[in-house]
Amino acid sequence: MNSQFSPVIAGTMLWGSFGRKLNTHDMAHLIRHCVLNGIHTFDHADIYGGYTTEADFGTAWVASEIKRSDIQLISKCGINMICDARPFKTGHYDHSMDHIIRQCEASLTHLATDYLDLLLIHRPSPLMDPHVVAEAATKLKEQGKILAFGVSNFTPSQTDLLRQLIPVEYNQIEFSVTHHSPLTDGSLDHMMLHKIRPMAWGPMGTVFKHQDEQSRRVRKVTAELAKKYEVEEDTILLAWIHAHPSGIIPVVGTADELRISKLRQALEVRLELEEWFTLYQAGMGHPVP
């Protein structure tokens, strides 16, 4: 298992045409800014930006002049998304060997690298043949094109279908104080039991997006804790995630330099036990049983 991933991962989904539409100069600057602030792992997927963001990042990374050995690159495949580049009639999953290998090799080309530090199957398919997926991942590993293999958004039973055939080292799931079901649905328990490292996408949840009752409850608690610890509210949310014993690595999708420069502060915040549960209860909307 790669233990060199940064404790907060930079999610690139919104760097390209899905969000900020950064040009090469600005993206190269942002890559350098992340690395300077201790965030040296970058999370991608082939579909981001309608299959364009990886190539944009690869061009920017080359321009940044940062050594390949100083960063880690993660990518995901398995989704066929309807867009200009892929005018499918229906969006669907493709876990065939040809697709996995083809998309991984395309990611390598676009990212201007010889290998991925980690390849994830983006989402589980009801038609997934675990033997085919395992054979594809094994082949890519043997060829040195990926260093580690994992999944994303897989349930424990779906993960076990692959675990019987190939080591599954990571599972990137949605997890936050407002999406906390992995704490009780067996997901995190399963990962701890089988030494699968969790990554959390959407680690801020809906706290800064929605004005619903749940988000207001959480914001009230985070505001109080942020004042106590003299940090930003999003730092408190990351500290809450970091407190879990499974070693969850948050994938943060911001492209804001100021926020990026403060993300690692979450490692310095040690929430008290009651504070952790106060946030948890705010997310649940009721006391613990």
Delineate the domains of the chain, giving CATH numbers in brackets: 9-174 (3.20.20.100)
193 token code pair? 């039991």
> What single DSSP character describes residue 113?
-
Q: 127, exposed or middle or buried, with CB in 10 Å at 0-12, 13-18, 19+?
A: exposed
pLDDT number for residue 1: 39
Write out pLDDT tens, residues 32-62: 999 999 999 999 999 999 999 999 999 999 9
Residue 52 in contact with residue 85, Cβ under 8 Å?
A: yes
In which element (H, E) is residue 119 found?
Answer: strand 118-121
Q: What residues does 80 pair with on adjacent strands?
A: 92
Tell me, what amino acid is at 187? Answer: S
Per-residue pLDDT tens listing for the chain (289 residues): 345 899 999 999 999 999 999 999 999 999 999 999 999 999 999 999 999 999 999 999 999 999 999 999 999 999 999 999 899 999 999 999 999 999 999 999 999 999 999 999 999 999 999 999 999 999 999 999 999 999 999 999 999 999 999 999 999 999 999 999 999 999 999 999 999 999 999 999 999 888 899 999 999 999 999 999 999 999 999 999 999 999 999 999 999 999 999 999 999 999 999 999 999 999 999 999 8
pLDDT number for residue 76: 98
Q: Tell me the catalytic residues.
A: 48
pLDDT number for residue 210: 83
pLDDT number for residue 179: 97
Gyration radius of the chain's alpha carbons: 19
Q: What residues does 9 pair with on adjacent strands?
A: 251
Residue 246 in contact with residue 198, Cβ under 8 Å?
A: yes
* Model confidence, pTM: 0.96
Number of H helices, E strands in the chain: 11, 10
Residue 255 in contact with residue 30, Cβ under 8 Å?
A: yes
pLDDT number for residue 4: 87
